[in-house]
Amino acid sequence: MATIATTKGTVIIGSDHGGFDLKIQIVEHLKTIGYQVHDVGCHQPERCDYPDIAALAGKATLDSSNTLQRGIVVCGSGIGISIAANKVPGVRCALLHDHYGAVMCRKHNNANMIALGGRTTGVEIAKEIVDAFLSTEFEGGRHEGRVGKIMSIC
Any idea which residues carry the catalytic annotation? 75, 108
Which residues touch 129 (CB under 8 Å, ≥6 apart)? 96, 98, 99, 101, 102, 114, 116, 121
In the complex with ligand RB5, the residue whose CB is nearer, 129 or 134, is 129
* DSSP at 40: -
Identify the three-state secondary structure at position 89: coil
138/120 Cα distance (integer angstroms):
27
In the complex with ligand RB5, the residue whose CB is nearer, 50 or 133, is 50
Distance in Å, CB of 145 to ligand RB5, minimum: 32
Residue 110 region, left (φ>0) first, then alpha (ψ -120 to 50), else beta?
Answer: left
Contacts with ligand RB5 by CB under 6 A lie at: 16, 18, 50, 75-77, 79-80
Distance in Å, CB of 70 to ligand RB5, minimum: 21
Distance in Å, CB of 77 to ligand RB5, minimum: 4
In the complex with ligand RB5, the residue whose CB is nearer, 48 or 134, is 48
Nearest to 12 by CA among 135, 112, 118: 112
Query: Which secondary structure element, helix H or strand E, spans residue 5, and what is its range?
Result: none
Distance in Å, CB of 80 to ligand RB5, minimum: 3
Q: What are phi and psi of 90, to 5 degrees?
A: 100, -15
In the complex with ligand RB5, the residue whose CB is nearer, 46 or 137, is 46
